Each structure stands twice: as C-alpha cells, then as structure tokens.
Amino acid sequence: MLPSSEFLFPIAEYWPFLTGFILFVVVLLVLDLTVFHRKAHAVSMREAGLWVVFWVSLAVIFNIGLYYYANWSFPENERLMAIPGFDPSKAAKQVALEFLTGYIIEASLSVDNIFVFVVVLGYFAIPARYQHRVLFLGILGAIVFRGIFISLGGLLIQFHWIIYVFGAFLIFTGIRMALAEEHAPEPDKNPLIRIFRKYMPVTSDFHGQHFFVRLNGVLHATPLFIAVLFLEATDIVFAVDSVPAIFAITREPLIVFTSNIFAILGLRAMYFLLAGAMDKFYLLKYSLALILIFVGLKMTWLDYAFDGHFPISWSLGVIGLVLAIGVVGSLLFPRQAQQSD
C-alpha cells in the first residue's frame, strides 16, 4: 500500500511513457482515417465486428505489456523501493488488474454514448457512408476532453475530502439513472447548438462529407458538423460520470487515462455492431446504475472497511457479474413491444 502522497506513475518520471502512448494513439487515428476509412462507406456488421475484436485485443495486449513494464521498472525505481513494505511484483499485478477493471467500467458506461450516437445520427439523418467520419471527430474530441477531465481529477484526488465528493456524486448519479424515465435527447434544444446557429448559418442539405461549405461567399456549417457538435457536448456530460467512476478503482492518472482512451477508441466499432440491437439490452441501464452506485460505495465506505483498499479482484468480479446479469436478463426477459392504440 502506497502512502497517500505517492504515485506509482508520477508524470514527472513517466512522461516518456505517456508521450509514447499518445503518439501511438495519434498514429492509430491517422491510419484509421487516411488508410482504413479513406473512402466514405457504410460500415457492415462484419467489418464492425472485426474492428471490435481489434480494439479489444489491442487493449488486452497493452494491459499485458503494462504488467511487464511495471514489473521491470518498479524494482529499478529507488523512490518506490525506499517505501517500507513495497512489493514490486505485487504492485505490477495490481496495476494490471486496475487497468482491466477500469477498461471494463469505461467500456460499459460507453453504452450510453452508443445510445446517443443512434439517436443523433438518426435525428440528423446522417447517411451511413458518412457516419464513421462524424464519429471519428466525435471520438477525437472525446479524447481531448477526457484528458482535461482526468488531469483535473488527478489534481483533485490528492485532496482526501474529494474522494467523498466523487463517491457521493456517483451514488447519486446511479440512483438517478435507475429511476429516470427514458427519453431521447433533443439536439435542437441543446443550448450550445442554439447559440452556434445564431452566429453561423447551417445548410439543410449535405455537401458530401464536408463539415463546412461556402455558399454565395458565406461560410455555412453542414448537418455533419452540427451532429459532431452535439456529440462533443454530450460526451462532456458523460465524462463527468465516467472519470470519477474510474478514480474509484485507481488513483493513478496514467492508468485512468490509458484505460479511458482504449474504451473510447473502440466506441465507433461498438456502435456499428450494436446500433440495431440497443433496444434489446434494456436492462443494461440498471446494471450501469448499480455499477455507479457500487464504485461510489467503494470510494466512500468499502475501501475503509477493508483496511484502506477494497480488493481489486473483487471489484472486477462484482462489475462483471452485474453486467452479465443485465445482458442475460435482457435476452431471457425481452421487453414487450408497446402496442399502439
């Protein structure tokens, strides 16, 4: 157990690792846009399934690599080895479990993002061949905003009292999610979009895969850009929930950031794979609510009830079980279709 003032991966020591990771992500995004999806096309379920396997496999490979990297670097770190009782092998296993648990939490909470993707792309009638391009920019913005939120969270989490604030917020959010009535978001009522429309005209038609077009000498935004703008606005809201949730699992900003990024990178493929089946998994809403309540309780109570740290393997088991119940329950007890009068 580290002292509260110590980090396994302080940015001052591990900035080359973080820089290398960010460059790796940039290369992946560039290849995605300029090679694999250079031409606009509708993404088939088969293609989406292959991409889901790719992104999940990449996260697993990174997790294994992170374990071996920690197992190699920790014994060489004089600062860590000077901490009484520090076990580098045990710490490396803890790091790997924290990344895996954080990744599963973030991927699970992304189900709400996928629902919003379905509604927004349908609301603006975005053609299937342009949806990947819209989601690409949406994901790119999400990465930037998550980086900002995680940096702020990493600073705040050093103050002990903020743990109770985060935990209470997650419990409240989970209860609200479980009790809230389902309703589709309405982009035209979003304040950000309404303000944007006041200062820039928006075309009613699409102009290929362009986000902006000049008509009669006046720059106009297209519906593609409005869709991206709404996705960015909603992701900020999602980040407010998801970032504190993963800080309940680990207080290491590097683990929080990397697990978040891998979950976000796989979002587009998950959308194209699951978009048509989202209504079938209606019980996942309650699973996600229970997960938020659980991690909130972990922050405010369970960690202290277990001598400062609730076992990460138990957390992983609870989260996996709750998700499985939501998925299996939705399939065994399908929601009855509402009959029209």
Q: pLDDT tens for residues 258-268?
A: 999 999 999 88
Alpha-carbon distance 276 to 226, whole Å? 23
- Asked whether residue 230 is domain-assigned, the answer is yes
**pLDDT of 95:** 95
Counting residues of the chain whose pLDDT is more than 90, the rounded percentage is 30
Q: Which of 227, 55, 238, 269 is nearest to 145 (CA)?
A: 238
Q: What is the pLDDT of residues 244-256, one digit of tens each?
A: 888 888 889 899 9
In a domain, 202, yes or no: no
Check residue 180 and give its pLDDT: 79
pLDDT confidence of 1, banded at 50, 70, 90? low
* Residue 211 within a domain: no
Q: Is the pLDDT of residue 33 over 80?
A: no
3-class DSSP state of 234? helix
In a domain, 300, yes or no: yes
For residue 238, tell me if it sits in a domain.
yes
Q: Is residue 219 part of a domain?
A: no
pLDDT of residue 113: 77
**pTM of the predicted structure, to 2 decimals:** 0.84
Contacts of 237 by beta carbon, 8 Å cutoff, 6+ apart: none
- Residue 338 domain-assigned (yes or no): no
Looking at the structure of the chain, the number of domains it has is 1
Residue 202: Cβ within 10 Å count? 13
Is residue 185 situated within a structural domain?
no
pLDDT value at position 20?
A: 94
Q: What is the mean pLDDT of the chain?
A: 86
Enclosing domain of residue 255: 11-113+142-180+226-330
